[in-house]
Amino acid sequence: MSTNTRQFVPLNIAIMVVSDSRTEETDTSGKTLVDRLTTVGHYCVEKAIIIDDIYQIRAKLSEWIADPNINAIITTGGTGVTGRDGTPEAVQPLLDKELNGFGEVFRTLSYEEIGTSTMQSRAIAGVANGHYIFCVPGSSGACRTAWDKLINAQLDYRTRPCNLVEVMPRLLET
């Protein structure tokens, strides 16, 4: 990550933990993301634990993407291949644009850590109503990889040659 004299721009980020079994006490993935994003200077404006049900996921996401005070949303969990994993199916219909490179790069980085098991990840990202949405697997290791190696740099206005923050004012252009 290359930085220059630009000033850091703190963003308002919402965290969604998709799980049928996690509670606030047992959640490690959401806590990992909150710790990382607040440590660098962003704000966690809301954190929710939602059961792995596409309609409940969509309901909360729809609320957040309608909120002009939220800039980005990170979901963790529900990206696997079991019958209950439905985060990509919940999120994709809400996206205006998909950032296909996110899933591709995440799986490449994850391959270095967990080998071929990374093919089970259906991590995705995109833009919905001017909000960035990143969907990552539910392990705290996957959250660390996604934040440390991808999301953090792209949500940092100082990152060169380009980052997602600098195009935020143009996301709703028609």
- 116-135 pLDDT tens trace: 988 889 999 999 999 999 99
Contacts of 87 by beta carbon, 8 Å cutoff, 6+ apart:
18, 52, 57, 75, 77, 78, 79, 122, 135
All domains in the chain, ordered by first residue: 12-167 (3.40.980.10)
Q: Is the pLDDT of residue 2 over 80?
A: no
Q: Is the pLDDT of residue 1 over 80?
A: no
Q: Cβ(92)–Cβ(98) under 8 Å?
A: yes
Residue 108's CB: how many other CB atoms inside 10 A? 11
pTM of the model: 0.94
The share of the chain scoring above pLDDT 90, in percent, equals 85
- 130-165 pLDDT tens trace: 999 999 999 999 999 999 999 999 999 999 999 999
Please tell me the predicted confidence (pLDDT) of residue 174.
81
Does residue 15 sit in helix, strand or coil? strand
